[in-house]
Structure 1
Amino acid sequence: MAIARHGRGPAAVARAYASQVHPVFMLPPVATALFGAALSGRFAPAVALVYAGAAFFAVYTAHVKDGYVDFHRRGEDDDHPMTERGCRLGLLGSTLGFLACLGALVAVATPLAVALAAPMWAIGYLHAPQFDTNPVTTTLGYPVGIALCLLGGYAAQTGTLALAPLALSAVFVVTLAGVKVIDDAQDYGYDRSIGKRTVAVALGRRRARRLAIAALAAGLFAVVPLSVTGVLPPSAPAASLAFGAVAAVAARKDDTTATMLLVRGAYLFLAGLLVAVSFRPLAGVPLPDITVLGPYTYLATEVAFGAVALALLVRAGPAALRRAAVTVAAVYPVAYVWDWYTLEVGVFSIPMRTGIEVLGIPVEEHLFMLVVPALVLGVHETLHARTGEPNADGGAGTDADSGAGTDADSGAGTDAAPDATDR
């Protein structure tokens, strides 16, 4: 029986199996396994490569099984390079490769590394059709697999786990879950037409996008307190800044473009963390000391953040600026009384200030009561400035989050039959 559906002979078979090596999805697990090894501070190359090999075969299993199910069982895909027999042989080969790596880990690593590696194959094999129809498992399968790559790569070198790899694995799970939600939304129309419940189908595209952005923001920000508390090096937040810049652009794009940007941003994130952990470029470098400004220190910070707040509100438009002015004015009396009382009873002190007081409180506190709510409102107006969200066709729309009809977020709809553009 044939193995390849297009062509005959060894070359056709080789092309068919090579087609299941998808670098975009293969590289992160392998790189993360090596990153886990580098994070340990010890790097036995043979052990690291064995664990990275296990990660490769687990993801290869997922790709072959997914293609087999989607083309030969569900009829979702238009084409596939392998016959059913070819898919089964591919699954057998990838499973044997994984078991060989697992056996090597038994010999060169510890039981903990083996225990962390084994679920990777299970996640890959069960991705379709078991996991990819549930909003939770279809979203978390790949991110959890990445976390296991990191933890296992570390444990294979040390035989233990530590706070840093555990914290980073949690960051990766949350961040990549956001990427996966947007990735799955590309097939919203088709998934909805066949009852496949991704997060976009379960929540609606608008709310799914919001959830994805929230997950990205939470994961990227988590690096900051982890650095402040010493779990990660001081330079680690630079990786979040790089990925955050990409995510800020992707947030306003359609699902396909956003996914492309975010996947590449994830590479930057991983590379940045690798540099931070391996080379610690800011180790021993003190924080910038702005107290050289003396009594004008507090005032200078307020001017800087006030400028940001004003820029955001001006960018949002005259109406946003007027609304913010009214809200700040309404909040000011309450803030004034609160601030005066806390200073009066000694709740806090402000050493780096000019000493100028107006109406019983430092002039800096008056500015603080204007700048902080203005900055909050500026961020709010920026985040909610758009009137439309990507609709089912990847363009812009004004669909509501509920209601009947054909909008993207309603519970019922009249999606057309699936075709090639849906996929």
Structure 2
Amino acid sequence: MAIARHGRGPGAVARAYASQVHPVFMLPPVATALFGAALAGEFDPALALVHAGTAFFAVYTAHVKDGYVDFHRRGEDDDHPMTERGCRLGLVGATLGFLACLAGVAVLAESTATPLAVALVTPTWVIGYLHAPQFDTNPVTTTLGYPVGIGLCLLGGYAAQTGRIAAAPIALAAVLVVTLAGVKVIDDAQDYEYDRSIDKRTVAVTLGPRRARRLATVALGVGLFAVVPLAIARVLPASAPAASLAFGGVVAVAVRKDSGTATMLLVRGAYLFLAGLLVATFFRPLADAPLPDITVLGPYTYLATEVVFGTAALALLVRAGRDATRRAAATIALLYPVAYVWDWYTLEVGVFSIPMRTGIELLAIPLEEHLFMLVVPALVLGIHETVHARRDAEPADEDA
């Protein structure tokens, strides 16, 4: 029986199987597996490559199974390079390749590392095999399958080298899972109309495209910002937020684009994010760099920070429009008396002190505190008006 649907002979068979290698989706898990090994510090290159092989075959299994189900079972795809027999043989070959690499991990890893490494690696194949038709019809599993697999690749790469799991790889895996979940939601939204017509319950179908885009934006924001407190807590290196800053620029552009363009930008931006995290955690370029010390401004330090953030708040409100600025001014005016009494009381009873200030006082509290009570709510309202103005401009969802 034939294996390839287009052409005959070994060349056609090779082309059919090679067509299931999708670098865009295969490079991240393979690179992440190697990243996990690099996090261990001194690592065994052979073990790292064998473990990366498990990631490759797990994703290859997912691609072959997905094509088999979508074309031969559901009739969703217009074409597929392999016959049913070819798909089954491809699944057998991918599974054997995965098992061979898994055995290699067990042999090359230290005896104490083997159980944990195997426990973390095995689910990646399970996720790939069950991607279709079990996982890809549920909004939770269809969204989290690939990101969770990426996280397991990182943890498995680290565990294979060390036999344990540390805070840094766990934190990085969590950041990648949340961030890539946002990318996956936007990616799935490309097929919203078709998925809806066959009752395929992706997040976009379940929530509607508009709410799904909001959820994806929140996930991306949470994942990118999480790097900052993790760096402050010294779980991640001090330079790790630079990776979030770089990817954040891509996200800021992508979330305003259509799903196809956004996905293209975000997938490539994710490579940049991963590369930035790798450089930060492996080379630690800012390990010995002190924090910028703005106290060189002396008594004007606090005032200077208020000028910076106040300027940002004013810019946001002006951009939001005259009505937004008027609403913000009215809200701040009503809030000010409450904030004034609260601020005076906390200063009076010694809850906090402000050493880096001018010393000028108005109505029994420092000048800087008067400005603080204006700047903070203005910044909050500026962000609020900007976000909701954008949402109001979006078209309403169709019934999902």
Q: Could you say which TM-score interval applies, normalised by the shorter chain? A: over 0.9
Q: Partner of 1:3 in structure 2?
A: 3
What is the CA distance between 1:26 and its match in structure 2? 0.2
Structure 1 portions without partners, runs of 5+: 390-396, 400-406, 412-423
Determine if the alignment matches structure 1 residue 124 to structure 2 residue 121.
no
Query: What residue number does 1:48 align with?
Result: 48
Whether 1:111 aligns to 2:115 is: yes
Note the 1:381-400 alignment, pairs <5 A. Answer: 381-386=385-390, 398-399=395-396
Question: Secondary structure in 2 aligned to 1:6?
Answer: coil
CA distance in 2, matches of 1:341, 1:208: 45
Question: 2: distance between equivalents of 1:385 and 1:14?
Answer: 53
- Tell me which amino acid in the other structure corresponds to 1:102: L
Tell me the equivalent position of 1:349. 353
| Secondary structure at 2:382 match in 1 | helix
Partner SS for 1:248: helix
Q: For residue 89 of structure 1, report the CA deviation from its aligned partner.
A: 1.0
| Aligned position for 2:218 | 214
For 1:141, give the aligned amino acid: G
1:199 equivalent in structure 2 = 203
Equivalence for 2:323? 319
What is the match of residue 262 of structure 2? 258
Give the superposition deviation at 1:384. Answer: 1.8
Whether 1:158 aligns to 2:165 is: no
Amino acid across the alignment from 1:100: A
Q: What does residue range 4-403 of structure 1 map to in structure 2 within 5 Å? A: 4-109=4-109, 110-386=114-390, 398-399=395-396
- Larger helix share, 1 or 2: 2
CA distance, structure 2, for counterparts of residue 14 and residue 321 of structure 1:
64
User: Which residue identity does 1:227 align to in structure 2?
Assistant: A
Please report how far the alpha carbon of residue 298 of structure 1 lies from its aligned counterpart in structure 2 after TM superposition: 0.1
Letter in 2 for 1:31: A
Superimposed CA distance per residue, residues 133-168 of structure 1 (whole angstroms, 9 cap, x where no aligned partner):
011110110011001100000011111111111111
Q: CA deviation at 1:379?
A: 1.1
- For the 8 Å contact 1:42–1:158, the answer to whether it is kept is no
AA partner of residue 179 (structure 2): T
Partner-residue secondary structure (3-state), 2:389: coil
Offset at residue 42 of structure 1 (A) = 2.0
Identity score, percent: 82
Letter in 1 for 2:321: G
Residue 21 of structure 1 aligns with an amino acid whose one-letter code is V
Helix, strand or coil: the match of 2:390? coil
1:64 CA drift (Å): 0.5
Post-superposition shift, 1:330?
Answer: 1.6
Distance in structure 1 (CA, Å) of the matches to 2:317 and 2:35? 41
**Which is worse superposed, 124-133 or 323-332?**
323-332
SS of 1:252's partner is: coil
Q: Secondary structure of 1:384's partner?
A: helix
Deviation at 1:203, TM superposition (A): 1.3
Question: Shift of the alpha carbon at 1:386?
Answer: 2.1
**Counterparts in 2 of 1:378 and 1:388: CA distance versus 1, 3 Å:** closer
**Cα displacement (A) at 1:387:** 5.0
State how far apart, in whole Å, the 1-side matches of 2:336 and 2:253 are.
34
User: Greater shift after overlay, 140-149 or 5-14?
Assistant: 5-14
The alpha carbon displacement at 1:277 in A equals 0.6
The Cα shift of 1:388 comes to 5.6
- Structure 2 Cα separation of the partners of residues 56 and 73 of structure 1: 25
Deviations 1:76-126 (A, max 9, x none): 111111111111111111111001001111111122111111111100000
Q: Compute the RMSD of aligned alpha carbons.
A: 1.1
Task: Confirm or deny: 8 A CA contact 1:182 1:209 kept in the other structure.
Answer: yes
CA–CA distance in structure 2, aligned partners of residues 281 and 54 of structure 1: 31
- Normalising by the residue count of structure 1, what TM-score does the alignment of the two structures yield? 0.92
Structure 1 CA distance for aligned equivalents of residues 318 and 200 of structure 2: 43
Q: Distance in 2 between matches of 1:77 and 1:170?
A: 33
CA pair 387-105 structure 1, distance change in 2 beyond 3 A: closer
User: What is the SS of the residue equivalent to 1:186?
Assistant: helix
Structure 2 regions of 5+ residues with no counterpart? Answer: none
Cα distance in 2 for residues equivalent to 1:312 and 1:190:
39
8 Å CA contact 1:297, 1:352 repeated in 2: yes
- TM-score, reference length from structure 2: 0.97
